[in-house]
Structure 1
Amino acid sequence: MVFKQIETQELPDIQSVGTIYEHVETGAKVLYLANDDSNKAFTIGFKTPPYNDNGIAHIIEHSVLNGSEKYPSKEPFVELVKGSLNTFVNAMTFSDKTIYPVASTNKKDFMHLMSVYLDAVFKPNFYDNAQILAQEGWHHHLESAEDDLIYKGVVYNEMKGATASPERQVQQHLTHQLYPNSIYRHESGGSPKAIPSLTQEEFVAFHQTCYHPSNSLTVLYGDIEEKETFAALEDYFSGAGKQSEKVNLSFEPTVPDDAVFEDTYSITAGDNPEGKDYLALGWHVSEPNDVLDMYGLEVLEKILFGNNQSPLKKALLDADIGGDIIGGVADFGYPTGFMITAKYSDASKMTRFKEVVQETLKQLMTEGIDEGLIDAALNKITFQTKEAAISEDNPRGVIYAINAYQSWLYDKSPYVNLQFSGYLKELGELAGKGYFEHLIKEKLVNNPLRTAVILKAEPGKSDQLEAESHQQLQEYKANLSKEEIDKMVAQTQELIKRQEAPDKPEDLAKIPTLTKEDLSTQVEEYPLTVIPFNEGTHFYQAEQFTSGIDYLSLYIDLKDVAAEEYQWLSLLSHLLGKLATEKYDVATLQRQKDLYTGGIYGKIDIYEDKAGQLQPYFILRGKSLESSFEELVSLLHEIVCHTQFDNKDEILKITQQLISNFERRINSSSHALAANRALSQVKSSAKLNERISGMDQFQFLKDIRADLQSDKSKEVTERIMQTVNGLLNKKRLNILYVGEKDRGVVVKEKLQAAFSELTSAELGEPAVIKPGAKQHEAYVTAQDVNYVAVASNANDKFDYTGAAKVLATAIRYSYLWNEIRVKGGAYGSLYNHQRTGQFALSSYRDPNIRKTLETYKGLPNYVAQMELSDSELLKYIIGTISPMEQPKSAFSKGLTAFNRLKTGVTREELVHLKEEILAVDSNALQMLNKGLNSVLEESTVVVIGNKAQIEIEKDLFDKVYELY
C-alpha cells in the first residue's frame, strides 16, 4: 500500500467529505476534500521556518518556479500560465510555511498544473545554477566598471515596497516583541537590509531540509481523478525515504518586558510629522488547540471593532487617541495575536491609549456586553461563512487548504477551520453565560503576554537610508581589486545574457499544454428580465439559485450630474449606513445591519458602451437571507431617505478613515492609481473614476477634513444634504435583484411600496464629461520603489479584437515579464486594453523610471519582429481564453448580465471575439504594431514613487506633486 487511509470525516459546512492519507514510505500527509465541484484544486505546502531576515523562504518560493529537472526552461511557471485554463495559480510565503496552490475546471489542465508544480518544488534547477538566486533574490549589479554598484533582484525590490508600509512595520515589531525567541520574530518575506547576506550554500541547504516529502502537507479538492492524482504524488514521494528529523515550529511564549518599543517610519522629506505617529498594543491570545476560543476571538473582534460605534473603537476615537483605529485577531502562524493600532496619533498618547483600552475592557467585563452586539457579530460571521461556502468566484479549494494548514501544520486536526457551524452554534449558546466577558478577562485584561509599540513619523528616512546604502556599496566597490570588479561585471553580463537568451525549443516543448480542441467558443447566457418600475425606471431581475440569499441593489441614475459632483457623491457613498437616521441612532443602525443583513454599502459605477456613451449610477447594495428580506428593504429605505448629516464629528471620523484607507492603497496598489490617473487625461470615464476613487478624491478628502476641523463644517454638512436631495427622485431609482425566480414579483412590490414617498422630477440633459488636462505627472511618496504608468485612448487607432487580446497576453508574458521583471528587477507589470478604448501599461514595485518608459516605447518594434511558432501562439491563445472561462458565483452572474446590458455587450459579440481569438495567426499579431505605435505616441505618463529618483528624472514630467 503506497498511501494508507488515516481517517474520513463528513464536512457538511463545506459540502465535502475529508479523508486524510499518509504516504507509507515518507510519512507525507495528504488531505482529500471530495465533492462534485468542477473547480479542482491542488495545494502542496511545506514548513519553512525562517532563521533570520534574509528572506530565504520567500526567495525559494520564487526560485523553484525558474526551471526544474523535467521542465528545464527558464520559467516554466510563465510558460504554464500562457497555455493554461487555470482558475488560480500562485505561490505564497507565510511566517511559518510556503504553499503552492493551483486550480482548474479542466481535468487535463489540472494534471498539467500539478505536474509542473511537483517537479518545481522537489527538483528545482537552482542547485546547480546560482544565477536563479541572483535574479530572483539579489545580486551585485555592475554592467560596466564605471557604473555605480547597485543591488538588484525581484524579491529585493518587492520587499523594498512591502516593508515601506507602516502598518506592516507595526505588525512586525509587535510580533518581534511578543515572540522574541521564535521564528515569528523574523521577516519571512525578507528585509532589504538582510537579503544581500543570503548565500547560494544556505539556499540549497534550506531547500534540502524543508522541501522533503516528509515535511509536506498536500490538500486535494473537488471532482478529481483520484487514481491519476495520487499516482502523480507517488512519482515524487517514492524513493525519498523518511526524513530523520521533523521541521519544528513549536515554541513557548515568554512574557515580554514592560518597556514600550519605539522605532520610526519614513514620510516624505519636508512633510510635517505632527499627528502621524502609530501606537499599537499586542497580546498573545491563542494557539491551534484553543479551537473554540479562536472562533470566539473572531466574534470578539467584531464586537469591539466592527464599526465606529463598537465599544472599544468608539472609546478610543472619542478619547482622540487616533484618527483611525484598527483592531482584531492577527494570525501569526502557530500563535494567534490580538492587536490594536491607533493611526494619526502622537507618541505622547501611549499612556492614555493603554488606560482607555484597559478601562473599556474592564467595564465590558464587569457590566457585561450588550447581547444585541453579540448576536449581531455572530450573525455577521455566520452569514459570511454561509455565503463563502456557496461562492464560485473564489477558488474554494485553495481557501480551504489555507484554512486547513492553520492547524494541520502544527499536528492538529486539519478540520478545525472547516467545521465552523458547530463552533458558532456553541458560541451562541455560551453568549448569555458570560463567555465573551471571560474571554476579555483571560485573553486581554489579565494577560501578561502583551507588548506595546510606538512608530514615529520621520521625514526623509527612506531617502537617507537609500543614500547610506548607495554610499556603502560604492565604498565596497572602491575597495575591490580590478580583477574583482572585472569578475563582478562579467557575472552581471552573464546574468543579462541568460535573461535575454531564448529558451531552447526542446525545453519549451516539454511543458504540457492544452490544444485548441480543449477550448470552446461557447458563452454562457445569464438571464435578465427587465420590468417597468417607476416612471421610466426599471426593475431588473437576474434569476439565479442563491441558496436562500437575496441580493438587492438600488441603482440611482446620475447621467445628468456634472463631473464636479462626483467627489461629493463618492463621500456620500461611504457615509450612508454609518450615520444616524430618523429611526435609529448610529449604534442601533449598525446593530440592525449586522443582525439582519450580510452588509449594506454604497458605491458608484460608470458603465461605458463601445461608442463612449456613459451611464453612471450611484449604487446602494445589500444582501440578506430570504427570512430577513423585509428588514433589508426597511433598512435600505431608512438609510437612503432618512440619514441625518448634522453630526460633523462622525463625518470627520469617517473622512479620516477614508484617507487612511487611501494611504494603504498607495502602499499596495499604486500601479492601479497611476494607470487610472494617466487614463483620466484621455478618457472621460476614467476622469470620473479619478474623482470617485483616485488622486482627485484623495485631495478632496484632505480638504474636507480641514473644513470639518474649521468653521466651514456647516458648509460641508449642508453640501452633503444638497447632494442627497438631488438623488431622492423616483425617476432616478432602478432596482437590480439577484435571487430565486419565484420571488421577483414580491421583491418588486415591496420596493415600490417602500420608496413610494419619493417625489418625481424630470432629469436634466446628459452631463458633458471631459477628460482632464493632458500632462506628464509624478507623485512623490516615501517609498523606495516606483509605479510607472502610461495610458492612451486607443479608439480609432488600435481596435479591440481577438488578435489584440492575444497580443496583450503575448506582451504581458513575454516582453513585459522579461524586460520589466526579469531584467529590470520590478515585481511585476500590467497591460490593460479594454473594449471601450482604455489602454494602459504599468509597473509594480519598480526600481526604475526612465528605463521602464523606454521599455514601453520599444513595444511596437518588438511586435513587428515577433515570430511565434505554432506552439507558442497556441499558448497565448489558451492564455487569452482562460480569463473568459472563470467560474462565477450566482451574484456575479446576475451582475454580469446587468453589466452586459448597460455596456451593450451581447452574447453574440463575445462568441465572435472567442472565434477571432482561436483564428489568430502570427502575421495578424505583427500587423498590430502600427496601431500600438500610434497609441503609445499619444500616451500620457504618470509615476508614483521615490522622491530622489523622481528628482533625477524630473525632465520627464510637466508636474511633480507631493502625494503624502
Structure 2
Amino acid sequence: MTFQLIETHSLEDIQSQGQLYLHPETGAQVLWLKNDDTNRAFTISFNTPPYSDNGITHIIEHSVLNGSKKYPTKEPFVELLKGSLNTFVNAMTFSDKTIYPVASTNQKDFSNLMGVYLDAVFQPNFYDNDLILAQEGWHYHLEKAEDDLIYKGVVFNEMKGATASPEQQLYNHMMRMLYPDTFYQYESGGLPSAITDLTQAEFIDYHRKHYHPSNSLTIIYGDLDIDQALAQLGEYFDGKGKGQVVDLQIPIQKPAVRDLKDSYSLAQGDDPTNKDYLALVWHTGLTTNSLEGTALEVINKLLMGHNEAPLKKALLEADIAADVWGEVNDFGYPTGYAIVAKHTDAEKQAQFKQIVFDSLQEVLVQGLDKDQIEAALNRLTFVLKEEAISESSPRGVIAGMKVLSSWQYQGNPYQNLEFTPILDELRTKAANGYLEDLIREKLVNNDYLAQITLVAEPGKSDKHEEKVLADLQAYKAQLDSDQVQAMVDKTQALIERQEASDTPEDLATIPMLTRQDLKADLDLEAVKVSAFGIKGKAYNADLFTSGIDYLQLFIDISDLPNSAYPHLGLLAALMGRIPTQSHSETDLQTLMDLHTGGLAAGINIYEVPGQEPKTYFVIKGKALEASLDQMVDLMKEIFLESQWTAQKDILQRIQAMISSFQNRINYGANALVMNRALAQYKASMFLNEQVSGIDFYNFLKASRDALKADQGESLTSELQALADQLANPDRLSLFYVGQADRLDTIKAKVATSFKDLASQAMGPAVTHPTGQVQNEAFVTAQDVNYVGLSTPALADLTYAGKVYVLGTILRLDYLWNNVRVKGGAYGAGFRHVRTGNIEFASYRDPNIDKTLATYLNTPAYIDNLALTDQDLLKYIIGTLSSMDQPLSAYDKGVKALSLYLTGQGVDSLKTYKEEVLAVQEADLKGLADSFRQALASYSKVVIGNKTQIQAEADQFDQIYDLF
C-alpha cells in the first residue's frame, strides 16, 4: 500500500472514527471519517491563494471540469450530472482554497465519481486547449469583423452578477482593509475588470504549481472500501515526488484603524437617499481557535440576534439604518467580526461608531444575562446535534469542509467535528466572565479595526459598462485587419467547439452504472391520519427522530380571500419576532432558545388539480421530547398573545424583511422570475406570490412607508383581526414527525393548550384567481439578467416519467449548451409542474432576447433528439438521482404529508420512477408537439439590467423599478 495509517481518533459527536493516512512520497495526507453512513463522500482540497483579482483560482475550478486525459469529453462534470446517482457533485472556490466534493449512496457510482474528479484536477485538458479558458473565463467575442467587440465568459458574467451586490462589495472591502499586504486583499472569484487580464500562460503555470498531491488534503467519508479509495488516490499520487506546499498561515499585520469610502450602483434614476451602507469590522483571531470562534457566534447572537438585543436595539432606536446586523466572518485563516448598517446616510458613520462602542461598554458594565447565555448555548447545541443526524444534506461534504477550516492551516483536523467538548468548555468559562472578556479584548480594546462607507450612486454600473464597451471599440479600431480576423477566427473556433458533439469514443470513457444498478424502490412511508379536535385531523409521520419532536399546527385558511394573504404572510413572519402579552422579545427569544430548536410560522399551499388550493397558516416547532410542554406553550403564546399593535417592533421587523428580500434579488432572482411567471396561470402560485414573491415585497414596502408616516393603524388592525379569526378550534389540525407511540401525548398536550378557544363558524372556501397574464420586467442595478418564462397548463405535460426524463435532458444538454456555454450565463433551469405548466429561468445571464429565443426553440430541439441506448440510460440515471436524494426523518415526513394533501400518495413516486425506467426515445420525441402547443402562449418575467431591459422594451407590457 502506498499510504500509511498514522493515527486513529474517535469522534463521538458524529459517530465516526477518524483514520489519518500519509502518502510518504508526496507528504499528502488523507483523512477517512469511518462510519456506517452509506451516503459516501470524497473531497480533495488544494491551497490556492490568489495573487490578483483576475479570478484565476475560480476559473481553474471551472476549467478542470472541462475534459481531462482519461475523460476527454468537453464537460465530464455535466456527463456526471446526466448519468450518475450522485447526491452531491460540485466544486467551490474560497478565499484561499479550492475544493472538489462528490457524494453518492451507490458504492460503484461513488468510485466512478471519485475517479473522474481525480483525473480532472490532476490531468486537465486546458494545458493544450486555450478555448477552455476562453469559454469558462473570458475572451474577446467577435463573430463577424463588423460586429462590436465584447467580452464573454461564464465566470466573467457570474462575477458581474456577484460583485454587483453591495453586501459582496462590503465583504471584499473588509478583507482588503484588514489584510492589505496579504492575498486576502484579492477577490478570489475574480473582478470582471481584472479577469480580462488573465493569460493562458499564467493559467497553466498556476495549476502546475498548486495542483500537486503535496499541496492537497483529502477527506473520505462513510461506509466504503478504503483500500479501493486509497488505490484510486495512489494512481495520481504515486511517482509525483515532493511538490511545493503553499503556506496559508499569513503574518498578522500591525493593528490600525483604517477608513474606506467607496460607492455601489443603483439603477439610473433611483433615489439614493438613505441607501448607503456603513460597517465596522475587526480582526478577531484565527480559524484554528474553535473555542474563540464559537464564543464569538454566541456573542453575536447575544448582541445582535434580535431587535431587543442590546447593540442592535441601540442602533435601531437611534434610527441609524433600516436594517443592522452582526456577522462572524471566516475569511480563511483569519477571522473577523463585523457590524453592518444597511440603508442609512454616510454622514452617520461617526454616530454609528459611537453608538457601537458606547453600547459595548454598557454591556461590559452590566454584564451579559446568564439565562440568555445558557439559552444561546442550548440553541447552538441543538443545531449542531440535529445537523449531525440529518440526512438531507450530504453529511460527508459538510464534515469535510469543517475539517478543512482548521486542517488547511496546519491545525487539528478533528476540532470542528468535536463540538461537545468545545460547548462544555464554553459553558464553564462563560460562567466566569469569558464572553465579557472576549468583548473587551476582541472589540472594545481592539484597534485592529476597519471602517467602511459604501455610498449609493445611481447609474454607476451603466456608466462603467458604457466605458468598457467604448474602450473595447477603441481597442478594436487600433487593430489591423489581420488582428481583427484572428479574433473572429478564435470566436468561431470556440463556437464550433461549443456546438460540436462529443464523439462516441470520448463519451464511452465516462464510467456509468448499468440498468441492473437501478431500482424503483421507495424509502418513504405514508402519513397516518386520525381525528383531532372539533373538525381537525392529526397527521403522523411515524419515524425515528433521535428524541426530537417535530410539531406543526395547521390552521385552515381556505375561507380567506386573496386580499388577506399579504397580511397573513406578514403575520407569519412576525410570530415569535415581536413581544407578546407575557414576554418581551428578549425574554421570548430566551425561552424559545432554552426549550426548543426554534419556532416559526408560514403559509403552506397545496395544489390538487381540478380543485381549489388547500391553504394553511402553519406554526412550526421542534424540541427534545422532554421539552414538549414548553414548546407547545410557546407555540400557543406566539399564536394567541403576540402584540399586533406594537408598531415600532413591526416596523423594525418589516425593514429587516425588505433587506432580506433584496438579498434574494441579488442571489436568487431566477426563482423569483420563474414563480412570478407561473403565478399568471396558477392560483396556487399567485397565492405564493402574495406571501413570498414580488407582490409581497411591494406590500412590505408600502407597509413600511405607512408605519414610518405614523399611518400604520390600518395595518395593525388588520393583523389583529386576522389573528383573532385564526384563533378558532374549528380550523386546527396538527402534523407530528416522530414515533407513533408519542402521538397520543402530542394530541393531548395540544388539545389541552387550546381548549379555551371559542368555536366560530368558518366561511365557505374561496375561489382563488390567477395573476394577470402579461410580460413584465423589473429593473435593478445589476449588469446581468434573470430571464423567466412560463406557459399555461397542458394535460400532455402533467407528471409522468417521460416528462421527468426530458426535463433532465433540457437542463443538462439543451439549456446548458445554449444558455450557459454559448450564451455565457452562469446557469439555466427548466421545471414542469403537476398541472402541466412548464417553466424556464436563467441565472446571471448577459442576454435577454437570445435566451427567450432558446426557450421558444425547445420543440425543434426535441424534434431532433437522437439518442443512443447509452445516452438514454444516462439520462434515466440522472433523472432517478434527482428523484431519490437522501432525506432526514423530518423532511421525509414533510414530503409524505405533501403527497397526501395533494392527492398523490407516496405510491405515486414509485409509479413515476417505474415510468422513468421504462422511457424510450419515441416517448421523448413525442412530446415535441406538446411543447410546441404549450409555448404557443406564454408569459415572460425578467429581472435585470435597466439598459438592456429598456433596449428590449417592446417585449414587455410593464416595466417596474424593483428597488
- Is TM > 0.5 for Structure 1 vs Structure 2? yes
2:526 and 2:906 in contact (8 A); partners too: no
Structure 1 stretches of 4+ moved >4 Å: none
Matched, 1:88 2:66: no
Give the structure 1 partner of residue 948 of structure 2: 949
| Matched ranges for 1:603-618 at <5 A | 603-618=602-617
Closer, same or farther: CA 193–246 of 1 in aligned 2, 3 Å: same
In the superposition, the TM-score normalised over structure 1's length comes to 0.99
**Shift, 1:326, TM fit:** 1.5
| Matched ranges for 1:922-941 at <5 A | 922-941=921-940
Post-superposition Cα deviations, 1:205-224, rounded to whole Å, max 9, x if no partner, equal 00001100000100000001
Give the structure 2 partner of residue 135 of structure 1: 135
**Shift, 1:612, TM fit:** 4.6
Distance 1:260 1:788 in 2: 39
Equivalent position amino acid for 2:48 in 1 = T
Post-superposition Cα deviations, 1:677-731, rounded to whole Å, max 9, x if no partner, equal 1111111111011111111011110000011012321121111101111111111
Distance 2:430 2:247 in 1: 37
Distance 1:288 1:642 in 2: 43
**Shift, 1:815, TM fit:** 0.7
**Shift, 1:798, TM fit:** 2.5
SS of structure 1 residue aligned to 2:348: helix
**Shift, 1:447, TM fit:** 0.9
Give the structure 1 partner of residue 717 of structure 2: 718
Give the structure 1 partner of residue 435 of structure 2: 436
SS of structure 1 residue aligned to 2:950: helix
In the superposition, the TM-score normalised over structure 2's length comes to 0.99
Give the structure 2 partner of residue 312 of structure 1: 311
Give the structure 2 partner of residue 735 of structure 1: 734
SS of structure 2 residue aligned to 1:731: helix
Distance 2:500 2:217 in 1: 36
Give the structure 2 partner of residue 692 of structure 1: 691
2:529 and 2:539 in contact (8 A); partners too: yes
Distance 1:292 1:814 in 2: 47
2:42 and 2:101 in contact (8 A); partners too: yes
**Shift, 1:909, TM fit:** 2.3
Give the structure 2 partner of residue 54 of structure 1: 54
Give the structure 2 partner of residue 8 of structure 1: 8
**Shift, 1:272, TM fit:** 0.8
Distance 2:685 2:865 in 1: 32
**Shift, 1:935, TM fit:** 1.1
SS of structure 1 residue aligned to 2:239: coil
Matched, 1:293 2:280: no
Give the structure 2 partner of residue 399 of structure 1: 398
Equivalent position amino acid for 1:92 in 2 = M
Distance 1:775 1:877 in 2: 36
Equivalent position amino acid for 2:904 in 1 = V
**Shift, 1:257, TM fit:** 4.2
**Shift, 1:908, TM fit:** 3.1
Distance 1:222 1:477 in 2: 55
Give the structure 2 partner of residue 154 of structure 1: 154
2:288 and 2:409 in contact (8 A); partners too: no
1:863 and 1:925 in contact (8 A); partners too: yes
Post-superposition Cα deviations, 1:602-623, rounded to whole Å, max 9, x if no partner, equal 1111101233531011111011
**Shift, 1:528, TM fit:** 2.0
Give the structure 2 partner of residue 519 of structure 1: 518
Give the structure 2 partner of residue 226 of structure 1: 226
Distance 1:780 1:819 in 2: 24
| Matched ranges for 1:235-246 at <5 A | 235-243=235-243, 245-246=244-245
| Matched ranges for 1:109-124 at <5 A | 109-124=109-124
Range 517-526 or range 378-387, more displaced: 517-526
Matched, 1:623 2:650: no
Distance 2:526 2:937 in 1: 41
Equivalent position amino acid for 2:403 in 1 = A
**Shift, 1:527, TM fit:** 4.3
Give the structure 1 partner of residue 550 of structure 2: 551
Give the structure 2 partner of residue 330 of structure 1: 329
Q: Percent identity?
A: 51
Equivalent position amino acid for 2:220 in 1 = L
Equivalent position amino acid for 2:575 in 1 = L
Post-superposition Cα deviations, 1:882-938, rounded to whole Å, max 9, x if no partner, equal 122111101111111211110111233222211211111111111100001111111
Distance 2:297 2:537 in 1: 41
Distance 1:265 1:513 in 2: 47
**Shift, 1:804, TM fit:** 0.9
Matched, 1:408 2:407: yes
Give the structure 2 partner of residue 70 of structure 1: 70
Give the structure 2 partner of residue 171 of structure 1: 171
Give the structure 2 partner of residue 818 of structure 1: 817
SS of structure 1 residue aligned to 2:788: strand
Give the structure 2 partner of residue 38 of structure 1: 38
Matched, 1:890 2:915: no
**Shift, 1:838, TM fit:** 3.4
Matched, 1:186 2:180: no
1:797 and 1:934 in contact (8 A); partners too: no
| Matched ranges for 1:735-884 at <5 A | 735-884=734-883
Distance 1:695 1:613 in 2: 23
Give the structure 1 partner of residue 266 of structure 2: 267
Give the structure 2 partner of residue 195 of structure 1: 195
SS of structure 2 residue aligned to 1:433: coil
Give the structure 1 partner of residue 24 of structure 2: 24
SS of structure 2 residue aligned to 1:309: coil
| Matched ranges for 1:468-483 at <5 A | 468-483=467-482
Distance 1:873 1:259 in 2: 59
Equivalent position amino acid for 1:665 in 2 = R
Distance 1:588 1:531 in 2: 36
Closer, same or farther: CA 364–201 of 1 in aligned 2, 3 Å: same
**Shift, 1:256, TM fit:** 5.5
Distance 1:668 1:674 in 2: 12
Distance 2:523 2:68 in 1: 38
**Shift, 1:288, TM fit:** 3.3
Post-superposition Cα deviations, 1:447-474, rounded to whole Å, max 9, x if no partner, equal 1211110000001111111111111111
Post-superposition Cα deviations, 1:473-530, rounded to whole Å, max 9, x if no partner, equal 1111111111100110011001000100100110001100111111111223324221
2:49 and 2:96 in contact (8 A); partners too: yes
Distance 1:525 1:127 in 2: 47
Equivalent position amino acid for 2:343 in 1 = Y
Distance 1:592 1:291 in 2: 27
Equivalent position amino acid for 1:673 in 2 = L
Give the structure 2 partner of residue 209 of structure 1: 209
1:797 and 1:935 in contact (8 A); partners too: no
| Matched ranges for 1:255-654 at <5 A | 255=254, 257-654=256-653
Equivalent position amino acid for 1:774 in 2 = V
**Shift, 1:259, TM fit:** 4.2
Post-superposition Cα deviations, 1:249-275, rounded to whole Å, max 9, x if no partner, equal 121222354342000001111111111
Post-superposition Cα deviations, 1:852-894, rounded to whole Å, max 9, x if no partner, equal 0111111100100111011111000011111221111011111
Instruction: Give unmatched runs, 5+ long, in structure 1.
Output: none
Range 318-327 or range 605-614, more displaced: 605-614
SS of structure 1 residue aligned to 2:791: strand
2:364 and 2:436 in contact (8 A); partners too: yes
Distance 2:288 2:821 in 1: 43
1:559 and 1:615 in contact (8 A); partners too: yes
**Shift, 1:794, TM fit:** 2.8
Distance 1:848 1:288 in 2: 41
Distance 1:536 1:723 in 2: 20
Distance 1:527 1:841 in 2: 32
Instruction: Give unmatched runs, 5+ long, in structure 2.
Output: none
Distance 1:610 1:515 in 2: 36
Equivalent position amino acid for 1:695 in 2 = I
Post-superposition Cα deviations, 1:59-99, rounded to whole Å, max 9, x if no partner, equal 00000000000000000110111110101110000001000
Range 717-726 or range 285-294, more displaced: 285-294
1:789 and 1:843 in contact (8 A); partners too: yes
Distance 1:3 1:60 in 2: 28
Distance 1:559 1:441 in 2: 54
Distance 2:596 2:796 in 1: 47
